[in-house]
């Protein structure tokens, strides 16, 4: 709670007060440090966690990956990713592809996708498409678009992403074609919504919704 409120000083006090810190306790502290850009502090805490024999799980490594990404620690993240595979057998390939893509290391991201022992999912292709748009990698981006369309041809968000990619690449005709394709297939973009708990009942409100009795 304190970490989520940006009071890492109080979060650290509560963490230090625990005499028997378990996996959940460490994960909460790691997550707070990672989210607020304290990458090297988070890595030091992880090493301490591992050294004291506390069980490491997928959530732990996800926080470590995020800590490296937010602090720009690309090489460190690859090092910890290798440790994750060798020592723990936990796979977070999507996180590493996203990190490499954000850092502009698209050739490394593409190589990792080809070397993965599991088939890449749509989220991985989306990360690479966004990065290709940012870094001007037209050819690679177009190949990823083909893969994304193959995996999720009817996803409205994918069509928006593809259209935006075409715009960034100055492929205006392709962007227009993507929008027309969305309409011709009858794919509607999912409207934004919010959830609100009222007296134990969960209510959903759509954007611009004025019909709800609450």
Asked if residue 53 and residue 111 are part of one domain, the reply reads no
In the structure, what pLDDT confidence band is assigned to residue 195 with cuts at 50, 70 and 90?
Answer: low
Asked if residue 100 and residue 193 are part of one domain, the reply reads yes
Instruction: Report pLDDT digits (tens) over 20-41.
Output: 899 999 999 999 998 888 888 9
Distinct helix (H) and strand (E) counts, the chain: 11, 2
Alpha helices in 136-195 (DSSP H): 138-151, 156-168, 172-184
The tokens of 62 are what?
């996800």
pLDDT at res. 210: 64
pLDDT at res. 12: 93
CATH number at residue 149: 1.25.40
- Among the candidates 63, 90, 117, a domain finishes at 90
Asked if residue 96 and residue 84 are part of one domain, the reply reads no
pLDDT > 70: percent of the chain: 83
Max distance between CA atoms of the chain, in angstroms, equals 63
What single DSSP character describes residue 21?
Answer: -
Asked if residue 116 and residue 137 are part of one domain, the reply reads yes
Domain that holds residue 5: 1-90
Asked if residue 190 and residue 100 are part of one domain, the reply reads yes
- Among the candidates 45, 65, 90, a domain finishes at 90
Asked if residue 138 and residue 82 are part of one domain, the reply reads no
Average pLDDT of the chain is 82
Helix 93-102 with 122-135: angle, nearest 10 deg: 10
Q: Please count the structural domains in the chain.
A: 2
Asked if residue 209 and residue 115 are part of one domain, the reply reads yes
- Among the candidates 32, 55, 90, a domain finishes at 90
Query: pLDDT higher for 189 or 74?
Result: 74
Asked if residue 139 and residue 79 are part of one domain, the reply reads no
Q: In this model, does residue 128 exceed pLDDT 60?
A: yes
pTM of the entire predicted model: 0.56
Query: Tokens 């057998």 map to which residue?
Result: 89
Asked if residue 176 and residue 85 are part of one domain, the reply reads no
Q: What are phi and psi of 183, to 5 degrees?
A: -70, -45
Dihedral (C-alpha) 161, 166, 169, 174: value to the nearest 10 degrees? 170
């Amino acid at each position: 709670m304190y970490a989520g409120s940006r009071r890492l000083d109080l979060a650290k006090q509560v963490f230090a007060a625990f005499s028997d810190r378990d996996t959940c306790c460490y994960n909460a502290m790691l997550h707070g440090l990672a989210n607020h850009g304290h990458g090297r502090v988070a890595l030091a805490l992880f090493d301490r966690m591992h050294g004291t024999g506390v069980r490491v799980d997928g959530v732990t490594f996800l926080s470590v990956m995020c800590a490296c990404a937010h602090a720009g620690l690309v090489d460190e993240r690859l090092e910890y990713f290798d440790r994750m595979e060798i020592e723990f057998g936990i796979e977070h390939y999507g996180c590493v592809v996203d990190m490499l893509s954000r850092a502009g290391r698209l050739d490394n991201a593409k190589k990792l996708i080809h070397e993965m022992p599991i088939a890449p999912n749509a989220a991985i292709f989306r990360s690479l498409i966004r990065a290709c748009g940012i870094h001007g990698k037209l050819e690679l981006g177009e190949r990823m678009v083909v893969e994304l369309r193959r995996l999720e041809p009817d996803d409205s968000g994918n069509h928006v992403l593809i259209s935006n990619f075409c715009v960034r690449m100055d492929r205006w005709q392709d962007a227009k074609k993507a929008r027309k394709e969305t309409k011709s297939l009858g794919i509607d973009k999912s409207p934004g919504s919010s959830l609100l708990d009222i007296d134990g009942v969960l209510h959903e409100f759509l954007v611009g919704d004025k019909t709800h009795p609450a």
